[in-house]
Amino acid sequence: MSEKTLTKDEQLFLYLVSTFQSSALIAMGRIKNPMSDTIEKNLDQATFYISLLDTIQKRTMGNLSQEEEQFLISAVSDLNMNMIEEKQKKQLDKKAKA
The answer on pLDDT for 2 being more than 90 is no
User: Does residue 44 lie within any of the structural domains?
Assistant: yes
Tell me the C-alpha distance between 58 and 70, whole Å: 13
Structural domain tally of the chain? 1
pLDDT category at 1 given cuts 50, 70, 90 is very low
User: Does residue 69 lie within any of the structural domains?
Assistant: yes
User: Does residue 63 lie within any of the structural domains?
Assistant: yes
Tell me the C-alpha distance between 57 and 42, whole Å: 23
User: For the segment 64-93, what is each residue's pLDDT rounded down to a tens digit?
Assistant: 999 999 999 999 999 999 999 999 998 998
User: Does residue 82 lie within any of the structural domains?
Assistant: yes
Q: Look up the pTM and report it.
A: 0.88
By the 8 A CB rule, do 25 and 40 touch? no
Domain that holds residue 60: 9-97
User: Does residue 3 lie within any of the structural domains?
Assistant: no
User: Does residue 48 lie within any of the structural domains?
Assistant: yes
User: Does residue 60 lie within any of the structural domains?
Assistant: yes
